[in-house]
Amino acid sequence: MSPHWPKKWEGLIQAPLDFDHIEANHASAVKYIRDAAAQGCHLAVLPEYHLTSWVPDSPEFIPLCAQYQKYINSYSALAAELNINIVPGTIVEKHDNDLLNIAYFISSTGAILGRYQKKNLWHPERPHLTSSLHTPHTAFSTPIGKVGLLVCWDLAFPEAFRELIAQGAKIIIIPTFWTLADCSVEGRRRNPLAEELFLESMVVARTFENTCAVVFVNVGGEKGDGERGSWAGGSQVAVPFVGALGKLGWEEGMGVVDVDMEILEEAEENYKVRQDMASEGWHYEYSLTREQKTEGRS
């Protein structure tokens, strides 16, 4: 039986980040979440690094990351108060000598239903963050259906999506810190908006490949600044057949998206991706392990 999907369910919160002002960033996030709840949203999603930004070489960064539990508790209380599900972007957590980049799904009761540690680290993150490495991706049940969490550069890996939809995930939520400057100098010389093209191509492609909805929430520049700089923005909910819904530009803002989730059932009926994956003798049912790759070279 199909779940009963709420129609107006998504508040895309494309917030700017101000390093060393964690309380101001949190206050801004809370304001947007309250606004989303007031407009009848069932889910509010924030960007990656929404509290601390990404400045790992600053001496203040690690002490800020040590405060993570305070903000998890705050978002849990807010979710219960407003009766809204919240994905508070990612929160960088200090555990002993490790920094973990964590996304949570907090239900409308305040309970944490899902936790995901970023697996596919972007190159500059690798000296600072600890990856979840071989821990499997896990889908989980929520009040809005079966959900999977990914973070930013995970978008580039179809394998991550396949693991989640094999477990029945219908909605993949991806908090992101993605800028135009993530492209090399050579790439930007060929196309200054190369990363924007990357995102436009990948987000929608993943929905068709997996007959799922993708909730992509990125950071944005300050409203009224007038200078785009390196902001990519582009927060959206993408679905098969239609593509991006409620897509934002590059500036700070919040989009409220109405989604008819029956489109996912229609897409699966058409493409039968999940049906093929669940069939006996599915021909891609294997794991490409390091040992297999080594054997293949001999």
Question: 0.95 exceeded by the pTM?
Answer: no
Residue 210 amino acid letter: N
Residue 295 C-beta-side C-alpha neighbours within 13 Å: 5
- pLDDT tens sequence for the chain (298 residues): 233 444 446 788 887 666 668 999 999 999 999 999 999 999 999 999 999 999 999 999 999 999 999 999 999 999 999 999 999 999 999 999 999 999 999 999 999 999 999 999 999 999 999 999 999 999 999 999 999 999 999 999 999 999 999 999 999 999 999 999 999 999 999 999 999 999 999 999 999 999 999 999 999 887 666 667 788 999 999 999 999 999 999 988 999 999 999 999 999 999 999 999 999 888 886 555 555 455 554 4
Q: Is the dihedral of CA 92, 132, 140, 160 positive or negative?
A: positive
Q: Is residue 34 part of a domain?
A: yes
Q: Is residue 139 part of a domain?
A: yes
- Residues 42, 51 contacting (CB under 8 angstroms): no
Q: Is residue 77 part of a domain?
A: yes
- Residues 252, 16 contacting (CB under 8 angstroms): yes
Q: What total of structural domains would you count in the chain?
A: 1
Segment holding 158, helix H or strand E: helix 158-166
Q: Is residue 51 part of a domain?
A: yes
Calculate the dihedral angle through the C-alpha atoms of 60, 150, 111, 252, rounding to the nearest 10 degrees.
60
Q: Which of 283, 261, 281, 268 is nearest to 3 (CA)?
A: 261
Sequential DSSP letters for 203-228? HHHHHHHHT-EEEEE---BPTT----
Q: Is residue 291 part of a domain?
A: no
Question: In Å, how far are 62, 118, 162, 177, 216 from 154, measured between CA atoms?
Answer: 24, 8, 12, 12, 12
Sequential DSSP letters for 23-46? HHHHHHHHHHHHHHHHTT-SEEE-
Q: Is residue 235 part of a domain?
A: yes
Q: Is residue 96 part of a domain?
A: yes
**Domain that includes residue 182, residue range:** 8-279
Residue with structure tokens 């520049």? 221
Q: Is residue 298 part of a domain?
A: no
CATH number at residue 26: 3.60.110.10
